[in-house]
């Protein structure tokens, strides 16, 4: 009977150690895995030196967003290409972040063909670690604000 009890203790101890290891393993993974940031998505969409970098950014963007969002925001989307990227006229473009939260990013686009005072808003939702919903807008301030 003692052998059975000793075996049960060993089994319980082993299970407890495994549970603790799994919990700490997931905790370490969560700490080591950076949280998805809307700023990353905005910069991959609008920050580039040339068309090759824009194309490279597109592939990185694919990993951060769902397929449906990717289809909405990629440079390959005809409406986006015509209404957004052609206005940049292939000039190097940078993003200047004004404010970011877990729900939105407020930013300027720095490009010689875009007025640097224009303010844009990128709103997003994250589901299962990927941006699952987006909405973009240009902000028109009714009160002069010094950034």
Q: For 86-119, what is each residue's pLDDT tens digit?
A: 677 778 889 999 999 999 999 999 999 889 999 9
Task: Give the global pTM.
Answer: 0.70
The pLDDT of 64-76, averaged and rounded, is: 88
Q: How confident is the model at residue 36 (pLDDT cuts 50, 70, 90)?
A: confident
Look at residue 135 and tell me if it is in a domain: yes
Asked if 75 and 22 sit in the same domain, the reply is: no
Number of domains in the chain: 2
Asked if 90 and 124 sit in the same domain, the reply is: yes
Torsion angle, alpha carbons of 42, 48, 51, 53, to 10: -90
Q: In terms of residue numbers, what domain contains 20?
A: 1-28
């Amino acid at each position: 009977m003692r052998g059975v009890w000793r075996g049960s203790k060993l089994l319980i101890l082993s299970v407890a150690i495994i549970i603790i290891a799994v919990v700490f393993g997931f905790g370490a993974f969560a700490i080591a895995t950076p949280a998805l940031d809307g700023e990353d998505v905005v910069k991959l969409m609008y920050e580039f030196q040339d068309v090759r970098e824009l194309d490279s950014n597109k592939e990185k963007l694919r990993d951060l967003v769902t397929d449906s969002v990717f289809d909405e925001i990629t440079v390959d989307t005809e409406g986006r290409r015509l209404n957004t990227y052609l206005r940049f006229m292939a000039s190097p473009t940078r993003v200047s972040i004004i404010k970011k939260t877990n729900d939105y990013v407020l930013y300027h686009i720095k490009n010689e063909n875009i007025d640097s005072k224009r303010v844009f808003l990128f709103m997003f939702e994250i589901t299962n670690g990927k941006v699952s919903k987006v909405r973009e807008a240009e902000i028109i301030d009714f009160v002069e604000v010094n950034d």
